[in-house]
Amino acid sequence: MFDYVAPRSVRETVDALGDPGRTAAVIAGGQSLLLEMHLWRRRPDLVVDVNRVAGLDGLGVDGGSLRVGALVRHAAFEAPQAVPGPLGTLFQQAVTNIAHPPIRARGTLVGSLAWAHPASEWCAVALALDADLTLRDSDGARQVPARDYFQGPHRTARRPRELITSVRFPLLSDDTGVAFIEHRRTHFCFATVAVSATLTVRDGVITGSRIGLVNASDRPVRALAAEQSLLGAEIADDLYHRAGRAAAEQDAAPVAEPFADPGYKRQAVAVLVGRALRRAAADQRSRAAGRTEGLR
């Protein structure tokens, strides 16, 4: 048995979470929590439903970043124009890999970050893009960068009495191409491996890249070795292959699963990173051609 509350404000929410006599769980979409409770893997004695909390459903650009509130559903990103520029394209490609329409209509991006499953698409995107999470408790708010937030499977820097109110993603420049590629056994399975990639090119030279790996470790991974292998190089097909090998051999730390041992996952990482970078380069060329066409 558990108690249920549906607060109307952030203050009421953090007060409920801060009750020292209870083990509380937050529910927004409930796509993961309810299954865990059904299987008796989680036994909260208080469920705090945030769906009526004012101000958590905001989605918009503020300065140079996109702010995503805790109640913004996955489905909000299915149209690339929902978010400006290359970031909207990356989000649209990532979200179409998340489960199926009913899940996307109820589940939330911030809920995925809170759950921190190693196979979560949003967790890898947030890590790769240096997103910042805002966490709130009864003492106030604090900012936690994604690089410090993920600590293991379902383990994060969020304290038990904290609520994630929003996350900010930096917007991507117009000279950046993007791609998200996922490999899985069936359409409705978790990703065996997936890759989020951005590639910034100026005058034929790669000036920046951000690569996030999904299910390539016990937590999301930023492929720093692969990114470093690209920096300052001229666009070339063999470059993507080398970056893929660097990601597989130096960045990934895969954990065995029933249908994918570590060796299989490393090979998948190498192949998917190469493919994602090629697609990101093609996307960047397409954007550059569009800008040139617009000037004529």
pLDDT tens track for 82-140: 999 999 999 999 999 998 899 999 999 999 999 999 999 999 999 999 999 999 999 99
- pLDDT confidence bin for 1, thresholds 50/70/90: confident
CA distance 12 to 32: 23
CA distance 178 to 169: 15
CA distance 258 to 265: 12
The contacts of residue 222 (CB under 8 Å, 6+ apart) are 127, 128, 147, 210, 211, 212, 213, 251
| Relative orientation angle of helices 262-295 and 237-246, to the nearest 10 degrees | 140
pLDDT surpasses 70 at 296: no
Give the chain's largest Cα–Cα span. Answer: 68
pLDDT tens track for 151-204: 999 999 999 899 999 999 999 999 999 999 999 988 778 999 999 999 999 998
Structure tokens at 210: 């951000």
